[in-house]
Amino acid sequence: MAATPRAGLLRSVTQARGPASVAAGILLSRIAGLIRERVFAQYFGNSLFADAFRGALRMPNVLQNLLGEGTLSATFIPVYSEMLEQGREREAGRFAGAAFGLLLLVAIGLTLVGVALAPLLVSVFLPGFTDERRVVTVTMVRILFPMTGVLVLSAWALGVLNSHRRFFVSYVAPVLWNAAMIGTLVALGIRLTGARLAVALAWGALAGGFLQFGFQLPWVFRHLRAFRPSLSLAVPGVSEALRNFVPVLAARGVVQISGWLDFLLASLLSVGAVSALGYAQVLYMLPVSLFAMSVAAAELPELSRMRAQAMPALAARVAGGLERIGFFVMPAVFAYLFLGDVIVAALYQTGDFGPADTVVVYLVLAGYALGLLATTSARLLSSAYYALRDTRTPARFAALRVGMAALLGLALMLPFDRLKVGELGLGAAGLSLATGLAAWLELVLLSRSLGRTLGPHGPRRHTLRGYFLASAAATGAALAAGYVLPDVHPVAEAAGTLIPFGVVYVAVTYVVGRRDETGDQRSEISDL
């Protein structure tokens, strides 16, 4: 029987416990992140201090993202999971110890370099920052680089727990990181302002990094056997992981270059462009984290265990994952495109964050939303490549995507920045639009190449069509509800439009699912 939208929902809730656990943990951490952003907007708005914190946090995050979850998922989890599947638990523990030791050494070295070279890094990667904005950014970079070193080790703990199918703990741990920053702003926001409050927030983020890592350790050590940190390259599995590490690092480096280009170019635009990108990225990453990362993270160990099976079995697993992603991401695309201003206002519009800021961040978010379905689908396809021990192909296609995004961004940002909403330019919207369009190039390339190995692996067309029609109907209902609403607080307006949106989407997918199931049953009867 063909999969249907309703069947896809039931499968994601009742049969895919791994993705559900990941999504639950990520949901809690993202809720904490949204609260953090709400408080951040209250105190900083789109000011130069908001720019400074966004830039400072982005800079050491390169280290975290290069060595963290994405890289370890592609290199550590396939090897470690395969050892567990074969019953080689003591070898798996030794491999985990060697990976920890090597990762710790690299993280310490790069952290020390980052602290020492902070002024140079700010000059290179944020050349538009001058005067007070530059000084504050340098100070915060020196505080935040050690934080990212700790978060890299937290990603190692995540890799261990994911391989043992213990997903929730590692994905809920960032709640503590967010809570530390929220607590810092609430406790000190009354007494401190401007640069002093921004620097205090950086110290709060550092404390949160230690809390996030330490929270996972009791669960990690319950599963490890024969664990002992080492720097030995002779431990079984280490050589294979290192061979895969270089191309994955290159792929992650390409992605980080893309992110850096956005911030570098935004630093050359009018004040507020960097922070507008940051605010929009928080919302953009919400469905990416909740749905794409949850499915991809849970599927990678399973696909790795299935590597010896026939390709059609892997293709069917990938197709099912893409349908689960599509069920949740398709309505998110419609919501961001047509209701994004309502969402942004409800979350951010308070204190120093005014209506003009809402419009700018909404337009930046809309640019990202155009590529949201492609970005989330590409996450799962990359996991399929990693499970097949092919780390070079995703790296190559990621480089092409970044090149296209950079060229389009350069072409669009200056014309867009001449368009103003109040005192804020729209150059950041040009950069996000370029990113969204380039994501489709990567998805097409990944899918075509993977098809030569797995065969057909995409979601069924009628399933995606059902998601599209349901999203369109939900959007119409939400816009109608918003039209009849009186002038109310942004949070009330969001509730009055998004609740009908969700109800109509679920109802339509249910009806379409029943119709498709009936058609499938009739087809099967006629075949008999």
Which tokens hold the place of 125? 């990667």
The chain-wide mean pLDDT, for the chain, equals 80
Report the pLDDT value the prediction gives residue 525, as an integer from 0 to 100.
Answer: 31
| E strand or H helix at 310 | none
How far is Cα 357 from Cα 229, in angstroms, rounded to an integer?
49
Can you read off the two tokens belonging to residue 524? 């099967």
Q: Determine the pLDDT at residue 12.
A: 40
pLDDT at 354 over 80: yes
pLDDT at 414 over 60: yes
Task: Judge whether 232 and 98 are in contact, CB under 8 Å.
Answer: yes
What is the predicted pLDDT for the residue at 234? 76
Q: Can you tell me the distance from the alpha carbon of 310 to that of 293, in angstroms, rounded to the nearest whole number?
A: 25
Helix (H, G, I), strand (E, B) or coil at 420: strand
Cα–Cα distance measured from residue 497 to residue 478, given in angstroms and rounded to the nearest whole number:
5
| pLDDT confidence tier of residue 335, bands split at 50, 70 and 90 | very high
According to DSSP, residue 421 is labeled E
Residue 299 has pLDDT above 70, yes or no: no
CA distance 34 to 37: 5
Residue 100 to residues 44, 154, 155, 167, 334, Cα–Cα distance (Å): 38, 10, 10, 19, 42
Structure-token pair, residue 227: 């664990």
- Comparing 137 with 297, the larger pLDDT belongs to 137
Give the N- to C-terminal CA distance of the chain in Å, as an integer: 14
Residue 218: CB partners within 8 Å, gap ≥ 6? none
Q: Considering only CA atoms, which of 411, 428, 415 is closest in space to residue 367?
A: 428
Tell me the three state secondary structure of residue 99: helix
Give the pLDDT mean for 291-302: 65
Q: With pLDDT > 90 as the criterion, what percentage of the chain qualifies? A: 21
pLDDT in tens, 188-206: 988 888 889 999 999 999 9
- Rounded to an integer, what distance in angstroms lies between the CA atom of residue 137 and that of residue 50? 10
The sign one gets for the Cα dihedral 218, 223, 227, 230 is negative
Radius of gyration, alpha carbons of the chain? 23
User: What integer pLDDT is reported at residue 251 of this predicted model?
Assistant: 60
pLDDT at 15: 42
Residues 19, 298 contacting (CB under 8 angstroms): yes
Q: Residue 288: pLDDT above 50?
A: yes
* pLDDT of 46: 77
Query: How confident is the model at residue 168, as a pLDDT?
Result: 81
The DSSP secondary structure of 116-127, one letter per residue, reads: HTHHHHHHHH-T
How far apart CA 160 and CA 177 sit, in angstroms, is 20
Checking if the pLDDT of 432 tops 80, the result is yes
As a whole number of angstroms, the distance between CA 464 and CA 439 comes to 18
Q: Which residue matches tokens 């069947």?
A: 7
The helix or strand, by DSSP H or E, that contains position 425, with its residue range, turns out to be strand 424-425
pLDDT of residue 5: 46
pLDDT of 14 above 60: no
Say if CB 231 and CB 105 are below 8 A apart. yes
Model confidence pLDDT, tens digit, residues 466-504 = 889 999 999 999 999 988 888 888 888 888 999 999 899
Asked if 32 and 113 touch (Cβ cutoff 8 Å), the reply is no
C-alpha distance from residue 161 to each of 37, 123, 171, 203 (Å):
28, 39, 10, 28
> What is the predicted pLDDT for the residue at 13?
41
DSSP strand E in 87-231: where? none
pLDDT band at 31 (very low <50, low <70, confident <90, very high): confident
- The alpha helices in 351-460, defined as continuous H runs, are 355-369, 372-387, 392-417, 427-454
How far is Cα 263 from Cα 250, in angstroms, rounded to an integer? 20
Total residue count of the chain as it appears in this document: 528
pLDDT tens-digit series, residues 311-329: 777 777 778 888 888 888 9
| Position with higher pLDDT, 35 vs 232 | 35
- Average the pLDDT over 30-40 and give the result: 88
The pLDDT assigned to 62 comes to 67
Quick check: 83 pLDDT over 90?
Answer: no
Q: How many CB atoms lie within 10 A of CB 247?
A: 18
In the predicted structure, residue 68 carries a pLDDT above the cut 80:
no
Percent of the chain with pLDDT over 70: 84
Question: What span, in angstroms and rounded, lies between the C-alpha atoms of 420 and 276?
Answer: 14
pLDDT at 367: 93
Please report, for residues 64, 141, 296, 454, the alpha-carbon distance to residue 177 in angstroms, rounded to integers and kept in the order given. Answer: 14, 17, 23, 40
CA separation, residue 150 to residues 96, 285, 330, 375, 518 (Å): 17, 22, 35, 27, 53
CA distances, 437 to each of 273, 373, 376, 406, 494 (Å): 20, 11, 13, 11, 28
Lowest mean pLDDT among 134-143, 147-156, 249-258, 267-276: 249-258
Which residue is listed with tokens 């098809």? 451
Rounded CA separation 90/304 (Å): 19
The reported pLDDT for the residue numbered 473 is 93
**Interatomic CA distance for residues 402 and 13, integer angstroms:** 34
Rounded to whole angstroms, how far apart are CA atoms 350 and 149? 33
> Tokens 């191309």 correspond to what residue?
247
Distance CA 45, CA 352 (A): 5
- List pLDDT tens digits, range 139-175: 999 999 888 888 888 888 887 887 777 778 878 888 9
At 17, list the tokens. 């416990």
**Better-scored residue on pLDDT, 105 or 25:** 105
Structure tokens at 505: 């989407």
Specify the range with the lowest mean pLDDT, choosing from 175-179, 373-377, 423-427.
Answer: 423-427
Q: Is the model more confident about 343 or about 286?
A: 343
